[in-house]
Amino acid sequence: MRIIFLGTAAAVSTSNRDNTSILLDDLLIDCPGNVFGKMKKVGYDPLKLQGVLITHGHIDHIYGLPSLIEMLRLSGRKKPLTVYVGQHFYELTRYCLEIYDLLNPEKGFEIMLKSISYEEQLLFKNSSISVFAFPVRHSVPNLGLKIQSFQSTVVYTSDTEPCEDLVKFFSDAELLIHESTCSYLYTRRMEGHSCAEDVARLAQFSNVKTLCLVHLGPEIDSKETDLVDELKQYFLGKILIPNDLDRIII
């Protein structure tokens, strides 16, 4: 399983970090700006994408989708592309794509827009991985993801408050990728989001092997070393705060 962090920032990007987006093997998770160019930069051919999954409809997770589809069309893609989006934002997404006539297969390739309910379910499966969705606690309906391969389990929360109901999904994961918009060291807690210290406590309770923090608020940017040192008192495993374009192989 290959995980590339195309972006690691929260809704407000910084000079070092763009909005959070993850390339998981051939599946793109969320689609802010210029993910096409970032995939090219890390040596991945965007035409190989098997699907795009939008966890929720907040602008920093979806605004680059029309641009990505147009770039794929201009680059010669002919194979259909499935776009998974939560049912709460399905019509908004459809409208956004229709504005630019991107749902017309005669313009390039077919976009199969699939509405997702907010419940535990299998979303995507190929010969290498299975991707399961589960509801999280955000300010709007949102989905977290549990990805399983033959060797390992990875959990990605997307945007969520810390919630004990999620512990069952975290349990014994090799890697927990958790949003950490806030930290008590630098800012107050925000509704619908998590402070890094609370995340570390949940990861320790869930017996997670490695904790990876993304969706970082601008107050945390450039203070990563101090934050990791702070979190070591709550979590005894490995702590990662990736930079944009970093990768993990599991």
Report the distance separating Cα 85 and Cα 97, nearest Å: 13
Provide the 10 A C-beta neighbour count for residue 59: 10
The backbone torsions φ and ψ at residue 156, rounded to the nearest 5 degrees and listed phi first, read -125, 125
Report the distance separating Cα 194 and Cα 106, nearest Å: 44
Report the distance separating Cα 179 and Cα 159, nearest Å: 6
Beta-bridge partner residues of 239? 211
> How would you list the strands of the sheet with 2-7, edge to edge?
111-116, 81-86, 51-54, 27-29, 21-24, 2-7, 247-249
Q: Cα 78 to chain center, whole Å? A: 26
- Active-site residue list: 60
Beta-bridge partner residues of 115? 85
